[in-house]
Structure 1
């Protein structure tokens, strides 16, 4: 990978790299433990700068037609698609996924961005004629600034679960990536600055204190969180107390059931792929396998395939 392996990161606010706190955290390579970047631990003041930028951009951005916003998102899609391989390499560098999984991470995120291009057709609203001279009408109105807090396991895909939809609906966005994998979304912000108006998408780096400041900022109207169930509950409780809209996604417990007539080879491979893919660091990883009836051959094949795994290989 022809990538710079040591970089001091900045926040990205108003389409500009912005200096933040003087306190930094080392970003270490999962491959060898070496330091590959330094990420700032943003303060509440740094968060305020980003939210202020997003608020300033909200009026003009939300005032655009759906079609006009979709045109911007299409430009973003084209820009990110052109750099998809570079983004996948960054995912490998800072997260440790193998290249196949990293490419999948980027591809799935881009799918959501592509879906958001259809929002003009998907969110047209309704008019109901409920009585003589009486109409009821649905309207979708942008909230304002949305704050996003995301985990380390999918550096590109998970942020793009919400960024394209929020922007397409007329909101502006402040994202706090995981401090463990901050490089991918910093590069996204650099690329986005070439096609989006200033302040529409902003990045603030930091730890839990930064996340708390984002949740509690009076200028943030909605919070989107993905992470552990414990933190999801805490953020949901605090944000709703403050009158914010909240999407709080926690962990998962996935159960697989193998019926007596299952294809043994296919089932064994699928089970191993489920719990070992992405090193098991994903919400759809298999946690429990319930085998119906006596199926010793299935169990033996699962054990054999698991023992044969090589870290870093496709599917491992």
Structure 2
């Protein structure tokens, strides 16, 4: 069953009963093989998607099975020949139109993210803009991927050129419904590959809407495909024999499994995992700037981002800084409209329970609760939503679980250490390696920390040190399984292979300088 639903988003918003989604394969929306729209609730064919702010059902996400994944990969493989044969400039022209459409529909897409994810409108707009930066980078691929050519000996030249791999699978998480898909998709197809993307089953609406923009921009059918589903669908896609490369963003446990399985059967795999990001406050830090930056880092997107602050290490006692962090955190209010000082809900009830459990366990272990987000009441009329206020915990023991495990919510652990060496020892002992930051006014101290942090993305007075294009995104240790970063030059290398051509011509015997 195939239907062309250019206005599916409008229908979805206007209809009284939430409409189930379909996959997007070959340029059209396609029902899953065992589709039964009469049985969407309490069905093994669909996953109920709720609005985190109020618990209302917004749509039903289909669960793609083997036949659905087979179909999507087959269509992508068939589109690869024609798409890869186009010039890089030709593909970039389509990407320019896609970029313009994202700008045109920016507000609409942000509203969708607010609705299905729970972000504030300001955060959602920022996510759209950040994702569009990667699209802009992909538009520059004709200039970025020019091969080298050189005369390496008399009459002999060497040159190289990048060639696409084939079908790429991209499996993305719930926390950034637009930005994380855009880490891979523009570069994958801009370099001449085709793609099968699996959005998170918790936030499928945004990419469902973007699918129509792929078609409007002029991407040929089959170049970009979307299959919906949960863990089983991701496993089918990542292990499919027709897929040449796999990218994944999620927990470290699953990232490692996908990496090991994929590489064992000859696929390229880049799997990004979890994080436990440490911020260090040197005694000379600017209190006002540091406090606001720490609050922004651990509460932004309700703490549901792999670059969020998790642990603040203060070198020596810093009561004024801690008091200022608590004061600014207390001023935050629940809400999703645009503007500063707002916090949206977390993604689901399980997240609220998990985050609060870390705070409760820390309290049992003797930690001091400086700010208790467990007691922050939900907004009036939204009591059925998944609201979780900011919590700040001052730890007495380094062994506390909250200090060592990924919480993934608006909860900050604070631990006092005696020296910069102790701070580095504690940060280096954590198994992850996404981000770390030093707050100081001394460049020599900043240099020492950036040289000794065990993390891939570092900040100096910046608590969310996400690189901006052309610099690439990627951690180390158990935050990344694979040898490349997921954006920038690392992604260009990952999504292509290089042809090396050495040429020598014999000089014709009857030639002269006039030939």
Q: TM-score, normalised by structure 1?
A: 0.96
Whether 1:97 aligns to 2:109 is: no
Shifted more, 287-296 versus 43-52: the winner is 287-296
In structure 2, stretches of 5+ residues that fail to align are 1-9, 36-44, 344-515
Between the two proteins, the alignment pairs up a number of residues equal to: 315
In 2, Cα distance between the equivalents of 1:260 and 1:165? Answer: 43
User: Which of structure 1's runs of 4+ aligned residues deviate more than 6 A?
Assistant: none
Question: For 1:188, which of 210, 230, 246 is the aligned residue?
Answer: 210
In 1, Cα distance between the equivalents of 2:265 and 2:104? Answer: 40
In structure 1, stretches of 5+ residues that fail to align are none
SS at match of 1:12: strand
C-alpha distance after superposition, 1:219-258 (max 9, x if no partner) = 1111111111111101111110111111111112211111
Question: For 1:292, which of 298, 315, 323 is the aligned residue?
Answer: 315
Residue 71 of structure 1: CA displacement?
A: 0.6
In 1, Cα distance between the equivalents of 2:99 and 2:150? Answer: 36
Residue 78 of structure 1: CA displacement?
A: 1.3
Residue 136 of structure 1: CA displacement?
A: 2.8
Question: For 1:25, which of 40, 43, 47 is the aligned residue?
Answer: 47
Higher helix share: 1
In 2, Cα distance between the equivalents of 1:277 and 1:165? Answer: 27
| Structure with bigger RCO (C-alpha 8 Å, 6+ apart) | 1
In 1, Cα distance between the equivalents of 2:134 and 2:186? Answer: 7
C-alpha distance after superposition, 1:123-142 (max 9, x if no partner) = 00112333333333222101
**Higher radius of gyration, 1 or 2:** 2
SS at match of 2:174: coil
In 1, Cα distance between the equivalents of 2:128 and 2:278? Answer: 27
SS at match of 1:298: helix
**Match in the other structure for 2:76:** 54
Shifted more, 2-11 versus 15-24: the winner is 2-11
In 2, Cα distance between the equivalents of 1:4 and 1:17? Answer: 19
Whether 1:305 aligns to 2:328 is: yes
**Match in the other structure for 2:375:** none
Aligned pairs (5 A) from 1:64-75: 64-75=86-97
Shifted more, 292-301 versus 184-193: the winner is 292-301
Whether 1:236 aligns to 2:259 is: yes
**Match in the other structure for 2:193:** 171
**Match in the other structure for 1:130:** 152
In 2, Cα distance between the equivalents of 1:11 and 1:86? Answer: 21
Question: For 1:7, which of 14, 19, 24 is the aligned residue?
Answer: 19
